[in-house]
Structure formats: structure tokens, C-alpha cells
């Protein structure tokens, strides 16, 4: 909705002009041993949008570590919004005793106003592998919300 000439500008509409940043950091490590995705503890943000069609830009850093004896496994991270997986995954091929920070970005539109939950999940792609961990140290999720005026 645009501001029309002669229209009164309210404080609520002005507040929507600024982006709203949110950040969450892992509160404990997530040990993964198979290809089943699991929530990364603490990497969840619940926020409220005031208008329909708010847009978001989200980024995540997955601090991944393996201590496995497998030759190569893929550490995989993804983001869900209201329990729906967003397109795009963070992937990194790791060898024995490897550690890396894997970055991913997403953007999109939240079609309805109200409460929404963004969360990170992690998994391994090799079901025979074990010893993969998304560490608490640097695993973080950041979401910026841009409301429609």
C-alpha cells in the first residue's frame, strides 16, 4: 500500500519503513549421525509481521565439524519457515577431522501477517557416517524483515 498525496502518516506506518533485524545463536551443539534433519538448538526466531506480503532476507552460518573415519561426508544445513523448508541448502563436503563455517542466504515473501518461526536444521548426507556436529560456537541465524507500508 502506497502513501497517497494528502494522506495522514501514522506512527505505525512509519515504523514499518525500517527493517527489523533478528538474530539467534545455537545454545548447544547438534550431533548428527544420519541423513535425518534435526533442529539446531537455539537457532530459532519467532517474530510477528504486521502486514501481508512482508519480505525477508535470512542468512545463516553453520559451524560444522566431523571426527568420523568415513572418507567424505556432506554436512547439510537448511532453514524452515513455519515448518516449511525454504529452497536452498548449505552443503560442504568434509573429510576426517574437518571443520568449516558454511554460509547460506535466503529471501522471500511472507504472504500473511502474524506470528512466524524461522529455524535452522542440520543433517549428514551419508547414512553410514557418524561423528558430525553442528557446533554451538558459531552457528547463527539472522533474519531481516521488511514490511509493506
- The confidence band for 7, taking pLDDT boundaries of 50, 70 and 90, is confident
Asked if the model's pLDDT at residue 128 lies above 80, the reply is: no
Number of domains in the chain: 1
With respect to residue 1, please indicate whether it lies within any of the assigned structural domains.
no
- Is residue 131 situated within a structural domain? yes
Alpha-carbon span 82 to 3, nearest angstrom: 31
Instruction: State which residues form the domain around 84.
Output: 17-146
Percentage with pLDDT > 70 across the chain: 91
pLDDT of 127 higher than 60? no
Q: Where residue 96 falls among pLDDT bands split at 50, 70, 90? A: confident
Specify the pLDDT at position 68. 67
Q: 31-41 pLDDT, tens per residue?
A: 887 778 999 99
Amino acid at each position: 500500500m502506497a502513501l497517497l498525496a494528502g494522506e495522514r502518516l501514522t506512527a505505525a506506518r512509519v515504523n514499518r519503513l525500517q527493517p527489523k533485524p533478528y538474530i539467534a545463536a545455537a545454545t548447544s551443539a547438534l550431533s548428527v549421525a544420519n541423513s535425518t534433519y534435526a533442529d539446531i538448538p537455539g537457532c530459532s526466531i519467532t517474530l510477528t509481521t504486521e502486514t501481508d506480503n512482508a519480505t525477508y532476507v535470512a542468512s545463516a552460518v553453520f559451524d560444522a565439524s566431523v571426527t568420523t573415519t568415513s572418507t567424505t561426508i556432506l554436512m547439510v544445513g537448511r532453514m524452515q519457515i513455519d515448518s516449511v523448508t525454504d529452497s536452498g541448502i548449505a552443503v560442504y563436503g568434509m573429510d576426517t577431522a574437518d571443520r568449516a563455517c558454511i554460509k547460506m542466504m535466503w529471501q522471500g515473501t511472507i504472504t500473511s501477517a502474524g506470528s512466524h518461526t524461522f529455524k535452522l536444521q542440520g543433517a549428514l548426507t551419508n547414512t553410514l557416517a557418524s561423528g558430525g556436529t553442528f557446533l554451538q560456537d558459531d552457528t547463527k541465524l539472522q533474519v531481516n524483515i521488511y514490511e509493506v507500508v
